[in-house]
Amino acid sequence: MGDINSCNIQKLENLLAESLNPVITTHMKPDGDAIGSCTALYHFLLSAYGKRSRIVLNDRYPGYLDFLASSVGKGDIIIYEEDKEKAASALSGSDLIFCLDFNAFHRTDNLEHLLEEAEAPKILVDHHLNPAREKFSLSFSETGISSASELLFHILMATSHIAGDASRLPASAVMALMTGMTTDTNNFANSVYPSTLEMASALLSAGADRDYILDRIYNQYRENRLRLMGHMMKDLLRITDDGVAYIVLDSRTQEEYDVEEGDTEGFVNMPLSIAGVRMSLLLKEASGHFRVSIRSKKGTSANRCAMLHFNGGGHENAAGGRLRIPEDIASPDKAAEYIERHTHLYLTENEKDI
Ligand code: 5GP
Ligand code: MN
């Protein structure tokens, strides 16, 4: 963890000491790691520095994360899609901006130009490949780590306020960090490092209630989600001769099952449980494009496939992107053909020398 050194921690503490209006932001379609890291930092700033920050999001988080978001002070979460002026003035009026769990401004969608224009120093805390370090006054970027929440945990532990003692973290930060790490590792199924288990151990000792967190994350879905999962795995899943599993979820099916944000979370991983499947894709139709999620087994790069064929990127074995209509495919019904052709091309042209 090269970026967590005494020089960078000192820089961080100096910037924090001077800041009056810190803002915390994260990527669009915020997930558990995004909201977990943002709320944990919010509570740390409040307890360690007495500083009330604002969390600025592009769009609303899924309902299951209410248990974290509701711990934040009223009005301190500002959502661009719901109040553009407030989000814009929070960013332009800030004197210190934390960018959590994303590697480049465009990952925040509408906040991109606001972040470009904001004059405040910006601090990156991220675990994705290819971070745009030149945009930040201070970068904590580590790809060999489970999550932004884990990276933030190690940063906070190195501060003089926490000084390596996790029991000094506020309880709400303990819960948020544990949640972010748990969702990004798929409950310890992937991207688990020795440092991840050290963090989990320290947070459990500091009082994290894992049973409560798991119940909030995994046991609060609507019945529709399970019915949709059955339909997707039984009727929509296709597997190519190259060992690529894919599902195209069109708008009509999403309406039929009343799909909400977060309802398909985790489904893209499931086909990887089949022997011989190297990579799994889930495409969800949205307006003017499909959102693409890609997961791969070790030895196949989801990141490169997303970069080369799906206008995206991410991590080595978990990436995302989009398939644009009409730039990439003429109409939604051409998605399956595009996936088959391009993943075949990708696996034959790009993977053979890896
Ligand atoms: P998910 O499939 O869960 O939406 O995303 C998987 C991973 O890929 C996440 O770490 C996410 O940040 C990253 N990712 C998703 N979409 C994009 C994208 O369009 N561009 C890049 N660079 N990364 C993405
Ligand atoms: Mn993350």
Q: pLDDT digits over 35-47, tens only?
A: 999 999 999 999 9
Is residue 60 domain-shared with residue 200, that is, in the same domain?
yes
The vertex-56 CA angle with 54 and 60, nearest 5°, equals 125
Provide the Cα torsion 339, 341, 343, 349; round to 10°: -160
Q: Average of pLDDT values for 80-102?
A: 98
Averaged pLDDT of the chain: 97
Q: State whether 231 and 203 are in the same domain.
A: no
185 Cα–ligand 1 center, Å: 14
Which residue is associated with the tokens 């740390």? 44
pLDDT at site 352: 56
| Model confidence pLDDT, tens digit, residues 118-144 | 999 999 999 999 999 999 999 999 999
Given 218, 243, 263, the domain boundary residue is: 218
pTM: 0.93
Q: Is the CB of 32 under 6 A from ligand 1?
A: no
Give 161-178 pLDDT, tens digit per residue: 999 999 999 999 999 999
Residue 269 sits in which domain range?
225-353
The half-sphere exposure of 283 on its side-chain side, counting CA atoms within 13 A, is 28
pLDDT tier at 351, thresholds 50, 70, 90? low
Q: What band does 349 get if pLDDT is binned at 50, 70 and 90? A: confident
Report which residue type is found at 283.
L
Which residue lies with its CA nearest to atom 6 of ligand 1?
A: 319
**Ligand 1 mean position, distance from CA 320 (Å):** 4
Residues 273, 205: one domain?
no
Give the mean pLDDT of 322-337. 98
Atom of ligand 1 nearest to the CA of 104: 22
Domain finish residue from 157, 188, 218: 218
The closest alpha carbon to 155, from 325, 40, 282, belongs to: 40
Q: How confident is the model at residue 354 (pLDDT cuts 50, 70, 90)?
A: very low
Pick the last residue of a domain from 218, 246, 272. Answer: 218
Give the chain's domain count: 2
Give how far the C-alpha of residue 327 lies from the chain's centroid of Cα atoms, to the nearest Å.
26
* pLDDT exceeds 70 at position 86: yes
315 pocket-lining for ligand 1 (C-beta < 6 Å):
yes
CATH code at position 174: 3.90.1640.10
Amino acid identity, position 282:
L
Q: Where are the alpha helices (DSSP H) in the chain?
A: 6-18, 32-49, 66-69, 84-92, 111-117, 148-158, 171-184, 194-205, 210-218, 223-231, 251-256, 302-309, 335-349
Q: Which amino acid is at 124?
A: L
Ligand 1 pocket test, pick from 293, 304, 324 with the greatest ligand atom count within 8 Å of Cβ, gives 293
Burial zone of 282 (CB within 10 Å; 0-12 exposed, 13-18 middle, 19+ buried): buried
Please give the Cα distance from 163 to 199 (Å, whole number): 14
Residue 237: alpha-carbon gap to chain centroid: 25
Q: Is any ligand 1 atom within 6 A of the Cβ of residue 313?
A: yes
Q: Are residues 206 and 229 in the same domain?
A: no
Handedness of CA 240, 243, 248, 253 (dihedral sign): positive
Do the Cβ atoms of 242 and 347 come closer than 8 Å? yes
Give the containing element (helix H, strand E) for 293: strand 289-296
For residue range 208-244, list pLDDT tens digits in order.
Answer: 999 999 999 999 999 999 999 999 999 999 999 999 9
Distance separating alpha carbons of residues 168 and 184, to the nearest angstrom: 24
Residues 337 and 259 in one domain: yes
CA atoms within 13 A on the CB side of 328: 22
- Do 213 and 262 fall into the same domain? no
Dig out the tokens for 257 from the structure.
């099952």
Q: Is the pLDDT of residue 58 over 70?
A: yes
Among 127, 106, 114, residue whose Cα is nearest residue 181: 127
Answer yes or no: do 15 and 157 share one domain.
Answer: yes
What are the counts of helices (DSSP H) followed by strands (DSSP E) for the chain? 13, 12
Looking at the CA of residue 319, tell me the nearest atom of ligand 1. 8
State the CATH number of the domain containing residue 299. Answer: 3.10.310.30
Closest ligand 1 atom to the C-alpha of 29?
4
Do 298 and 247 share a structural domain? yes
- 151 plus 229 within the same structural domain: no
Q: With a 6 A CB cut-off, is 295 part of the ligand 1 pocket? A: no
Which CB contacts under 8 angstroms, 24+ apart, belong to 57-60? 57/25, 57/26, 57/30, 58/27, 58/28, 58/29, 58/30, 58/108, 58/109, 58/110, 58/111, 59/28, 59/29, 59/30, 59/109, 60/261
Judgement on whether residues 232 and 194 belong to the same structural domain of the protein: no
Question: For ligand 1, atom 12, which residue shows the shortest CA distance?
Answer: 314
Looking at all shown ligands, the one closest to residue 108's CA atom is 1
Same domain, 135 and 254: no
Percent of the chain with pLDDT over 90: 97
Kindly provide the b/e burial profile for residues 28-53, where b requires at least 16 CB atoms within 10 angstroms of the residue's own CB: bbbbbbbbbbbbbbbbbbbbbeebeb
Nearest-CA neighbor of 39 among 64, 70, 79?
70
CB 320 near ligand 1, within 6 Å:
yes
Within a domain: 334: yes
Does residue 1 belong to any structural domain of this protein?
no
Ligand that comes closest to the CA of residue 185: 2
What is the CB neighbour count within 10 angstroms for residue 172?
A: 18
Q: Is there a single domain that holds both residue 156 and residue 73?
A: yes
Q: Shortest CA distance to 91 belongs to which of 117, 61, 60?
A: 117
Q: Which two tokens stand for residue 308?
A: 């080369």
Specify whether the backbone of 163 is left (phi greater than 0), alpha (psi in -120 to 50) or beta.
left
